[in-house]
Copies of this chain bind each other. A is one copy, B any other.
Amino acid sequence: MSEATLIDGRAEAEALRARVAADVAELKARHGLVPGLAVVLVGEDPASEVYVRSKGEQSRAAGMHSVTHKLPADTSQADLVNLVRQLNADPSIHGILVQMPLPPGLDEKAVIEAIDPDKDVDGLHVVNAGRLSQGLPSLAPCTPVGCMILLRQTLGDNLSGLRAVVLGRSILVGRPVAQLLLQADCTVTIAHSRTRDLASVCREADILVAAVGRPRMIPGDWIRPGATVIDVGINRVPFDDPAKAAEGRTKLVGDVDFKSARRVAGAITPVPNGVGPMTVACLLANTVTAARRIRGV
């Protein structure tokens, strides 16, 4: 039995960053436009600090203008919203990202809604969700954008008429990826915790996007032979090896049971190093898109 092609998210992310860097260079040379990304971090969550640093480094490496605002954990809602408003008004900034989660007491929804939708490179503003669902130009959340790039690299630009099944209906992944697949003219099914006979529904999929956050819940025999599987799940589980598990060691697995799925699928993203690396690269791409639209070039 042949094994599925591995979709290499690290290589695709690197290629995307190179395209972004080329776009940035061209925007500078032709229009004197330097796309600018502002990242706001409130408090000292160690994981968030790693993400924020990586976003800053990658945007600078792509030749972008990059600023990071670190605010203390006891920052007030008003001060945070004021900073967002200043960034909205700052012509050197085209993308604004407030790192989530925010410390307790701050209203995440209100902070997101304070961001100018045209600078909302995380694609979380209600106006961007609306534009996306009305098929208008929008900024879509980064992970779904990354899923689409991986699909197009794997299947070609034309996804029209393919049956896509999205497992999970989160605002961050499931719902927007379903919209993007619909925009690409797929026949789209959204399945979720209440779906009956999930195995049969999954087996209809030419494209299966799993975004539920349950480790290895999708076995290989739920997958249509030859299907393209995009596994968005990142779940930490104990090692299979009891000795390692006993030491408390853990590893990352997806929502798909990779071992059995790999024998059935045509192409599949591994976890880690599948969808994950695409997310920050798509943030840079969204910032370039935002800069172009704001400047009208």
Contacts and interface: CB of A to CB of B under 8 A. Distances in A.
Count chain B CB atoms within 10 A of each CB in A134, A136, A160, A201 and give the residue with the most: A134
Contacts of A133: 129-130, 132-133, 175, 179
Contacts of A192: 182, 185, 187
Contacts of A163: 196
Given A160-B194, A192-B185, A171 B126 contact: no
Interface in A209-243: none
Given A132-B133, A133-B130, A187 B161 contact: no
Identify whether the interface residues of A are mostly helix, strand, loop, or mixed. Answer: mixed
A91 interface: no
A135 B169 CA distance: 10
What interface size band does chain A fall in?
Answer: 20 to 34
A194 B185 contact: yes
A127 to B, nearest CB: 6
A84 B130 CA distance: 21
A260 interface: no
A2 interface: no
A187 B178 CA distance: 13
Contacts of A196: 161, 163, 187
A73 interface: no
A128 B133 CA distance: 10
Interface string A148-181: 0000000000001101000001010001000100
A190 interface: yes
A125 B192 CA distance: 28
Contacts of A194: 160-161, 185, 187
Interface of A: 125-136, 160-161, 163, 169, 171, 175, 179, 182, 185, 187-192, 194-196, 201, 204
